[in-house]
Structure 1
Amino acid sequence: MKHTKYILGAFVLASMAITSCVDDSALEYDVEKPASITQMEYLNDYDALKSYVNRSTDPNFKLGSGVTVSEYVKEGLVYRMSNSNFDELTAGNAMKYSSIVKNDGSMDFSKVIGFVQAAKAGGATIYGHTLAWHAQQNNKYLNSLLADKEIEVDPDDADPALRMVVPTKGSNPWDSEIYYDPAAPLVVGQEYTISMRIKATNATNVNFWPGVKGGATQYLPGFAAGEQWAEASVTFTANYALDRLRFCFGTFEGELFFDDLSLKATGSDENLIANPSFDEESLTGWSKPGWHSYTFGIVAVAPGPSTYWVNLVSNSNCEGNDVSCFFATEKKDGPKAASFGAAGTGADGVGRAIVIESGDDPTNAWDTQFFVKVPHTFEEGEAYNFSMKIKASKPATITSQAHNNPGGYLHYAMVGSPQVTTEWQEYKNSGVISGSQKGMNTIAFNLSESKVATTYYFDDIVFEKQESGNTIPLTDEEKAEALTGAMDRWIAGMMTACDGYVTAWDVVNEALSGSDGDGDGKYDLQSASNGDPAANFYWQDYLGDNDYVRTTVKLARQHFAESGGNPSDLKLFINDYNLESWWDGNGKAKSLVKWIEQWESDGVTKIDGIGTQMHVSYILDAAAQKSQEESIVNMFKLLAATGKLIKITELDMGITEKAFAAGIKTEDMTEEHHKAMAGFYTFIIQKYFELVPAAQRYGITQWAVTDSPTSSSWRGGEPIGLWDLNNNRKHTYAGFAAGLSGQ
């Protein structure tokens, strides 16, 4: 058989498809020419891939390649071929969080430093991938930053408190009462808040029934007391000139303690309780009925283990998209996930609220219900606090029930009967779970009590369970602060390691989900509620939809400059996939543009570019392929209209029989399949140059340079490269070059 000399893309194949790159120079071998090689011989005439870029019209355009850093820094074939055929390199994994940050939070940037040194020596730039992402994070370390904090308790640090010793419990709340008479009656119509620290030798509920001596009584929610100190409060409007505060605990037996009492009118700092911390040996204002047998007095009480309240409701402020705790029954169709209203329906006039409509002429008060379900089943004796903000289109009274899951009725009373007006007001209730309420995990509100159509609005919903111990959960603010510090250290370390050499970054990677759960006209951000929290870490759930991006951008610019970089050289990209989606009319691309506008609306945050990944497949179904091509054209138009730099960041291609079908494997490919893919590469790249203005054309990175091995986790066994696994050029190489050259 005839022998010939032909060019092989001799290349060391690394563990991922993205590590391979084009041939660097003609390495000549005498080999026996296979019959199938004839149709590929034309590829021998092609030059190195980057030579096809028109540098006169695109002097700053960067043709990129994905590489495995461990292969590149060996300075062998991968190094030489990458440098001679590509302008810019993107690390497959070496610059990601989980590759650098250890379980204790320490960071090892040695591979990054070596990569930068090797690229600099080879004349290649580096595209940073990536600073902020939810995947490939060190979850163990990040979750440790959110762990409960230790509480220092000195057992010898006794504090005076008011103690009631009740030898025998009665049948009614009024069988044991203690009174406090303020110096002056409360003002009718004035709002007040009374709060205290409270505990008891066993769980109980202290009824709070202030009144007028010898006259009217105002029945209000009480105070839940557990075995450890806890904060409790009641906010109320005085309906009478209340001159006696009645605390009723007749069904309790044991020791009951009050401390740090406060009674203040809204807007005032004056505490109407004398000696509120019982630091003085004075019980002025305190008394009890003469016929009650219990005793009371001031004693020193050791602090013991601390108590705190844990909010069990997810998305309490209704600003996220998680509806796992909110359900509603409307039109008698059974409990379904509740719906959020539009922006501006919330209690603050800006955010959102849950909106539920009750119908006219209901049969039962429970025909329309709102449910607050929490991931905890309450036991008898557990203390709780509940609060929410509420208003309605008409004044109404609603009642509450205890349920085990929405619709699983247990008891007719749970958190009282809120009086609802047309103005926002906060409703609070606290207590201890009774035997009839045992097993509940859901509060049900009956919204058809008024028997007329009414629209209800609910916001800032909190259902707390009392916990005790020597640790306490971090607040949302503390969690955000801890993670902001971690992000700061991470970005500072990365910028220091890169020493100002890496001037372009995926500052935030894959931020968007693929759906609009809150109905605001743009896709939601990725989060634990719509993603996989076991595998990923969603920084945005703690830093917020806006500050997640704004903080990362700010820190990147700050630390780049501190590390010797020229601030005007730094280009920060938001990178995402499926921007070319035809199945939703480029919904993700449109949403990303809106999000960027929102992130930049503070007048400080500046995002330089948009990265579109484009992990595509040629579809043999002609109609579907046409739709895909049309959506690619539309995507480039949408992105170009932003005026920002546009980069194709991770381009690779498979081939399928139909849309969304499994990819055809390499061994099943035909010559026609290969040529169809080559033509699609030409189409994509030429449309990029045609539709993106020259000043906005940052570059294109080919992600998977060789076909994917069967063992690869990325499109395993598929023909996604410009070279085959033997490092021979494929028809797709010619298609890619044609796209770059415009010929």
Structure 2
Amino acid sequence: MNLRYKTGTFFFAAALLGSSCAKQFTADFPVDKPESIIAQEDIDSYEPLLSYLDKDANPDFHWGVAVNASDYLGKGVMHRLVNRNFDELVTGNAMKHFSIVQDDGSLNLANVQSLIELAAENEMGIYGHTLVWHAGQNAAYLNSLIAPENIGGPSWDLVTAIDFETDDNANYLYTDNAAVSFTADGQGANDQGRALQLTNTAARANDWDVQFFISLDQSVAVGERYELSIDIKSDAAANYSTQAHRVPYEYMHYDFFGSISSTPEWSTYTREITISEEMAGAGAIAFNLGLNATTYYFDNIAISKFNEEGGSGPVGDSGYALVLSNPSVVNSWEAQTAYDFDAVDANTAFTLSIAAKGSKAGSIGVDLQNSADYSGESFGNISLGTEYQEYTFTLTSTDLRNRFIVNHGTYDGTVYIDDVRLTVAGSTANLIANGDFESGMAGWGGWGNGSNRQLSANGEGYGGPGGSIIEKTPEEKEQIISQALETFIAGMMEVTKGHIKAWDVVNEPISDWPDQYALKTGIGKEDMAADEFYWQDYLGKDYAVKAIQYARQYGDPEDKLFINDYGLEGGGDKCEGLIAYVDYVESKGVTVDGIGTQMHIDINTNKDNIINMYELLAATGKLIKVSELDIGLGDNTQTPNATAEQYAAQAEMYKFVIEKYFEIIPKAQQYGITVWSPLDSPNSQYSFWRKGEPIGLWTETFVRKPAYQAVAEALEKQK
């Protein structure tokens, strides 16, 4: 028989949780026990939560909890708490794609197998979470499957490279007029590594009176194309020329790789040349430093040769690209590159696609403008990596537009852009005539901060000479990603079949804004997380159909398959949007057994919206699961700041959510409720969920809270 408790317990126990600790002492006279202590003793006298659930009256109801697989497998306090208080567990990450799929595509299911075996020993059910999601994916592996293919076209082959990390490189030397040392203030790929530091103590009569030489690993020949890339800076602004030498000190031609400008900030100088008759036979570059009395710094020197027939160059280095170099950080608009096109009227929908990379990570902006008054609108920012990526943006103009602009003032480095395509709705014509730069730089210009623009054969490759990079078609990508999804689900079901009988097959499919009837997408999204991969962008709206088909094919026919999402109690269209998507999926011939609602809410969540959500879900006739219930105190309230009144309100909200579930959801549709965070969330660097919030039924130290009592009483009512 379960105990009955005093009224007012919520408040007094909450008062205990909200008070600070004091040093204990032994009194020499009797005192009354504080009400808060009595209240906590009342809560502690409750039985485990599972004992309050009448399984005879609710035989198909699952009372679940989320737990880290390692905590359960460790057989410690959390293991015992789960076994005593719940009859089903779900793991936070152990069954997600990135925990299972290795970088070579193999599946590591050993941890899942161990969890199944231990749960079976303790007669504990497991709910599967999750088969298809946009987060928690091994995105690097999935993206590698659909990456462009290198078919051996033209490439840039590295000829000479010097990073100054050691003293034993014979490819460089310098004149006696310079003081030479090394600095640990390196740049680029070896940031904070060594760089060469060369000081010219006085301005000389001739620039060649102080020289720094780089010897090439091979002599150059007429018609060959070479590219120099070098990280540079100087204590004072300086400009210096480069000469072609047969070997150091054997002069051939004054201009080799152009004139270089440096500032006190590191920048990357890049120059591509075609070898003339005057340069033929050169095997060294001389940097003429004599005219400026300053200290120069050099790092990460690379000389590459263009190989028309293909070779060992990196994938994608083919065709031409526009190279933008900005020596120092200024306002974004203070270094701009632009292309003017025929004017397009206001209220026009534009789509921009562009490929870009940089000499380091950073960001540049892309805008449209009216050149007459400089008014404009932004497509957004491009987050650059050191390998080419493709970006797609859209905007609808509010005024006439005739100029495309790249804002690169805040990026102090070298940017490569290629395959720029700007179109308007209803047309496939590119407003930028030579956006692939295969016909040169015509139409492109720029200004600001001493930045420069030049053409490079270090392009992305699409449309480049020889076409060394072949992009997979949408149909090919769909087939490849379908196979990857099938492999993952088949492997999961092979180990879990007969043990896990319900699954979140599809997790969080619906967009948050602006259209809550649409699917989420990663198209055009910047700063994609390392574990993000949107299956729907490759498989389309039917991605959930495929996932359910695979789950039915490889699992047990009687498994219960759910589609799950958050924010359904938010008062917007998301609940109806999810229901509409479930209807769509079933129209394709598969069965969705249930709908999960996550309910990561707080004490201020609108209760009418919760009731409305339950009513909408009940009307579907599907199994309904509260899949991830936790309740905060509102306004990101942290545990040290929580009050007794807030803990009481939290307890009342837990009770409300559970009681209304049993009241509104018909018994035949009641799959169950899962508490997502049984303990309050710690405020530590390892806490990734509602960090520092007191959202649980227990404190971090396993002390029962008023919410524990509220949940026990809500469960006990369900006879």
Shift of 1:62: 0.3
Q: CA distance change for structure 1 residues 736 and 139 in 2, over 3 Å: closer, same or farther?
A: same
Indicate yes or no: 2:576 matched with 1:590: yes
1:576 aligns with 2:565: yes
1:392-471 equivalences under 5 Å are 402=432, 414=433, 433=439, 436-439=442-445, 465-466=463-464, 468=466, 470-471=468-469
Do structure 1's residue 59 and structure 2's residue 59 form an aligned pair? Answer: yes
In 1: Cα distance, 2:59 partner to 2:546 partner:
32
Matching residue of 1:511: 509
Alpha-carbon offset, residue 132 of structure 1:
1.1
Which residue of structure 1 lines up, in the alignment, with residue 717 of structure 2?
742
- Please state how far the C-alpha of 1:469 moved relative to its aligned partner: 5.7
1:599 to 585, 600, 614: 585
Pick the aligned partner of 1:492 from 490, 493, 497.
490
Equivalent of 1:540 in 535, 540, 553: 535
Q: Deviations over 1:260-279 (max 9, x none)?
A: xxxxxxxxxxxxxxxxxxxx
- For the structure 1 residues 383 and 669, does the alpha-carbon distance in structure 2 shift closer, same or farther, using more than 3 Å as the test? closer
Could you say what secondary structure the match of 1:143 adopts? helix
Distance 2:679 2:418 in 1: 62
Q: Give 1:666 deviation, angstroms.
A: 2.1
The residue aligned with 1:608 is 593
2:621–2:669 contact (8 Å) kept in structure 1:
yes
DSSP 3-state at the match of 1:114? helix
Give, in whole Å, the separation in 2 of the partners of 1:325 and 1:599: 38
Please give the secondary structure, in 2, of the residue aligned with 1:550: helix
1:546 alignment partner, SS class: helix
Say if 2:635 is the partner of 1:650: no
Contact map agreement 2:421 2:430 (CA 8 A) in 1: no
Is the Cα–Cα contact under 8 Å of residues 320 and 418 in structure 2 kept in the other structure? no
**1:619-630 alignment runs, 5 A limit:** 619=604, 625=605, 628-630=606-608
Judging changes above 3 Å, is the alpha-carbon distance between structure 1 residues 511 and 579 closer, same or farther for their aligned structure 2 residues? Answer: same
Equivalence for 1:480: 478
Q: Is the CA contact (8 Å cut-off) linking 1:66 and 1:704 kept in structure 2?
A: yes
Q: Which amino acid aligns with 1:135?
A: A
CA distance in 1, matches of 2:614, 2:419: 54
Q: Distance in 1 between matches of 2:320 and 2:56?
A: 64
1:604–1:41 Cα change, 3 Å: same
Distance 2:704 2:421 in 1: 67
Normalised by the size of structure 2, how large is the TM-score? 0.56
Contact 1:64–1:699 (8 Å) recurs in 2: yes
- The structure-2 alpha-carbon separation of the partners of 1:357 and 1:617, relative to structure 1 and needing over 3 Å to count, comes to closer
Matches within 5 A, 1:348-359: none
DSSP 3-state at the match of 2:484:
helix
How far 1:357 sits from its partner (Å)? 10
- Percent identical pairs in the alignment equals 37
Q: Which deviates more from structure 2 when the two are superposed, residues 684-693 or residues 587-596?
A: 587-596
Residue in structure 2 matched with residue 183 of structure 1 by the alignment: none
Change (3 A) 1:372 1:67: same
Structure 1 residues 694 and 399: alpha-carbon distance in aligned structure 2, compared to 1, 3 A threshold = closer
Separation (CA, whole Å) in 1 of partners of 2:418 and 2:68: 56
Q: Which amino acid aligns with 2:93?
A: N
- Structure 1 position 70 matched with structure 2 position 59: no
From 667, 673, 695, give the equivalent of 2:640.
Answer: 667
What corresponds to 2:386 in structure 1? none
Q: 1:355 to 1:89 in 2, by over 3 A?
A: closer
Structure 1 residues 494 and 333: CA distance shift in structure 2, 3 A: same
2:614 alignment partner in structure 1: 636
Q: How does 1:355-366 map to 2 (within 5 A)?
A: none
Judge conservation of contact 2:153–2:467 (CA < 8 Å) in 1.
Answer: no
C-alpha distance in structure 2 between counterparts of 1:71 and 1:643, whole Å: 36
Taking a change above 3 Å as real, the CA distance of residues 636 and 337 of structure 1, as seen in their structure-2 partners, is farther
Please give the alpha-carbon distance, in whole angstroms, between the structure 2 residues aligned to 1:400 and 1:127. 51
Q: What is the CA deviation profile of residues 286-328 of structure 1, one whole-angstrom value per residue up to 9, with x for unaligned ones? A: xxxxxxxxxxxxxxxx994599999999788xxxxxxx99979
The aligned counterpart of 1:149 is 149
| Structure 2 CA distance for partners of 1:99 and 1:616, relative to 1, 3 Å | same
Q: Secondary structure at the match of 1:650?
A: strand
**Equivalent of 1:685, from 651, 658, 678?**
658
**Which residue is 1:557 aligned to?**
552
Tell me the SS of whatever aligns to 2:130. coil
SS in 2 for 1:129: strand
Write out aligned runs for 1:240-319 (5 A).
304-305=309-310
Aligned amino acid, residue 636 of structure 2:
A
- Give the superposition deviation at 1:557: 1.4
Distance 1:506 1:632 in 2: 21
State the alpha-carbon separation in 1 of the partners of residues 403 and 614 from structure 2: 45
CA separation of 1:387 and 1:97: change in aligned 2, threshold 3 A: closer
CA–CA distance in structure 1, aligned partners of residues 466 and 35 of structure 2:
79
Q: Shift of residue 400 of structure 1?
A: 8.6
**Deviates further, 472-481 or 73-82:** 73-82
In 2, are the aligned partners of 1:100 and 1:109 still within 8 Å (CA)? yes
Query: Which amino acid in 2 is paired with 1:534?
Result: A
Q: CA deviation at 1:553?
A: 1.4
Provide the rounded CA distance (Å) in 1 between the counterparts of 2:150 and 2:463: 19
- 1:543 deviates by 2.1
Q: Closer, same or farther in 2 for the Cα pair 1:439/1:738, shift >3 Å?
A: farther
Instruction: Give, as a single letter, the amino acid of the residue that structure 1 aligns with 2:470.
Output: I
SS of the residue corresponding to residue 695 of structure 2 reads coil
Question: What is the SS of the residue equivalent to 1:72?
Answer: helix
Q: Give the deviation of 1:531 after TM superposition.
A: 6.5
What whole-Å deviation, never above 9, does each CA across 1:367-410 have from its counterpart, x for those lacking one? 7458889999xxxxx99898979769xxxxx99965xxxxxxxx
Give 1:48 shift.
2.0
TM-aligned CA distance change 1:696 to 1:374, over 3 Å: farther
- Cα 1:724–1:356 shift into 2, 3 Å: closer
Change (3 A) 1:61 1:467: farther
Aligned to 2:700: 725
Alignment correspondent of 2:79: 79
In structure 1, how many angstroms separate the alpha carbons of the residues matched to 2:563 and 2:471?
Answer: 33
Give the drift of 1:701: 0.4
Q: Is the 8 A contact 1:480 1:542 kept in 2?
A: no
Please report how far the alpha carbon of residue 100 of structure 1 lies from its aligned counterpart in structure 2 after TM superposition: 2.0
What SS does the corresponding residue of 2:552 show, helix, strand or coil?
helix
Determine if contact 1:618/1:653 at 8 Å carries over to the other structure: yes
Q: Which runs of 5+ in 2 are unaligned?
A: 1-32, 155-222, 225-306, 323-349, 354-364, 380-393, 409-416, 447-460
Cα distance change on mapping 1:644 and 1:541 into 2, 3 Å: closer
Equivalent residues of 2:63, 2:673 under 8 A apart? yes
**Offset at residue 573 of structure 1 (A):** 1.2
Deviations 1:541-586 (A, max 9, x none): 54243132122111111111xxxx2x0x2111111111111xxx33
Q: 1:315 to 1:386 in 2, by over 3 A?
A: closer
TM-superposed CA distance for 1:739, in Å, is 2.2
1:613–1:651 CA contact under 8 A, matched in 2: yes
Contact kept, 8 Å, 1:512 with 1:526, in 2: the verdict is no
Match of 2:134 in 1: 134
Contact residue 100 and residue 108 of structure 1 kept, 8 A:
yes
CA 62–370 in structure 1, closer or farther in 2 if over 3 Å, else same: farther
The count of aligned residue pairs is: 465
Is the contact between residue 90 and residue 126 of structure 2 (CA under 8 Å) also seen in structure 1?
A: yes
Contact persistence 1:483–1:539 (CA under 8 A)? no
